[in-house]
Each structure stands twice: as C-alpha cells, then as structure tokens.
Amino acid sequence: MWEERRTQVLETARRLCRDGFVLGTTGNVSQRFRGPEGGELVAITPSGRPYDTMTADDIVVLDAQGRPVAGDLPPSIETVMHLAIYRARSNAGAVVHTHSVYASIVAVTCREIPALLDDQVAFLGGEIKVAEYALPGSPQLAGNAVAALGPRNAVLLANHGAVALGRDLREAFDHCALLEKTAQVCALARMVGEARELPRGALEAGRAAFGARFGDALAPAP
C-alpha cells in the first residue's frame, strides 16, 4: 500500500545519494501524509539498507506513534527525530537528514551559521543553529534537534550532520541543498576572513519573505 508515497521517498533518497549528500547507508528521508481513514502516517527509509538496492517495498510506513503499518524492515535509526519534528512543526510534510560534507564541517565546529545570505534567510528562516550533541537515534538527539530548529527549516547536529524540512519532499530536498551551499560558503568564508552577517534591512526583508512563504507562525521572532 501507499506505493506512490513510498516511491517518492525512495526517489528522494536516491537523489540525495546521486548528488553526494549521503554515502553508503547514512542519512534518512521521510514524508508525512494522511491515510484513507484520515490518520497521520509517515513513510521513512529503512535502517541500514544501501540506497542502490533499496526498493519502494523497503520504505517503512508508520503511524504517528511510530508503530509499523507497512514494510518488513526496521525503520531508520533516526525515526524518533523525524516524528519529533513532525509533532513540533505542523506544516512539515517531509524531513531529510544527511551527513553532507560542508554541513558536517560546520557541525563539528559547533558554531552556528549566522544569517549570511539572502536565500538562506528567505528559505531556511535565518541563522542555522547547532543542536547539542547526543547519540545518534536517541530521544535526546531528537529533543535537541527540535529545540535548535525552532521555527526555521534547517538545523545542524553537533559532530554529526544536518536536518532540513519542507512542506513536501521536493522542498525538503531543496532546503537540504541550500543548507549545504550555505555551510560551504560559511566554512570557506571563515578561512578567508570574517563572515559578516547581512545588513539589518536585508535581514528584515528576508524574514518577511520567509514568513510570507511559510506562514506567519513560522517567522522567527525579531
């Protein structure tokens, strides 16, 4: 069941692999949708299965409490984090977690990325905070990620990787790519000199654009 939803998750996971955002079996992808009876379901990549041999049947479907509804494999180790983000963010339709290189570089410095670029603010919501370290797959990591994510669309996980979300899978993938580009600019800028934050007017305009695009409830506090 839910072939189309599972296929969409698989295709996004393969695209992440093809574009170099994940290696081997790392990273994970999910999307949230309504089942035929109106209940909330989440389709998520399985644990420990290489992307090149993964099929749509391998994608696990869970209910909102994380109980399996379809699929024989164990769900991603980071299922708790995905479900916690969906609970915290009512308009999140898809979540992508990667170990991409530049996001990981900044994540090991444990320094947040200030609001450096117009597209970063307009689409990701402003600064990118770093969630405090906790073991992969732990409830602590899920809580730390939600706390650092706040109302924005991307967060770094200290000494680990990155998470981006969107209203659908395409948007979550695009935000993941924008997060990686932003981290690359930040990392290289810090090697060359000081990375300066956007001027105040540009920051306000970017935040207004973010609020208009993703809803006033998501706009970061001034």
The helix or strand, by DSSP H or E, that contains position 62, with its residue range, turns out to be strand 60-63
Of the two residues 46 and 161, which places its CB atom closer to Zn ion in the complex?
161
**Which two structure tokens, joined as six digits, stand for 19?**
């574009």
Of the two residues 7 and 26, which places its CB atom closer to Zn ion in the complex?
26
Using N-to-C axis directions, what is the helix angle for 101-109 and 169-192, rounded to 10°? 60
Of the two residues 7 and 138, which places its CB atom closer to Zn ion in the complex?
138
Least distance to Zn ion, CB of residue 98, Å? 8
Of the two residues 93 and 161, which places its CB atom closer to Zn ion in the complex?
161
Least distance to Zn ion, CB of residue 160, Å? 6
Strand 154-157 versus strand 130-131 pairing type:
parallel
Residue 190 neighbours by CB under 8 Å, 6+ apart: none
Least distance to Zn ion, CB of residue 38, Å? 32
Q: How many CB atoms lie within 10 A of CB 26?
A: 16
Starting at the edge strand found earlier in the chain, the sheet holding 28-34 runs 68-70, 60-63, 40-44, 28-34, 94-98, 161-166, 154-157, 130-131
Backbone angles phi, psi at 159, to 5 degrees: 55, 30
Place of tokens 């979540």: 95
Of the two residues 136 and 220, which places its CB atom closer to Zn ion in the complex?
136
Judged by CB under 5 A, the chain residues 78 through 107 that form the site for Zn ion are: none
Least distance to Zn ion, CB of residue 33, Å? 23
Number of residues interacting with Zn ion: please give it, by CB under 5 A.
1
Catalytic residue among 78, 127, 171, 180: 78
Do residues 33 and 43 lie in contact, with contact meaning Cβ atoms separated by under 8 Å? yes
Residue 48 neighbours by CB under 8 Å, 6+ apart: 25, 74
Q: How many CB atoms lie within 10 A of CB 38?
A: 6
Active-site residue, 78 included: yes
Judged by CB under 5 A, the chain residues 141 through 180 that form the site for Zn ion are: 161
Least distance to Zn ion, CB of residue 22, Å? 9
Residue of minimal CB distance from Zn ion?
A: 161
Q: Please report, as ranges, the residues that interact with Zn ion according to CB under 5 A.
A: 161
Q: Which active-site residues does the annotation give?
A: 78
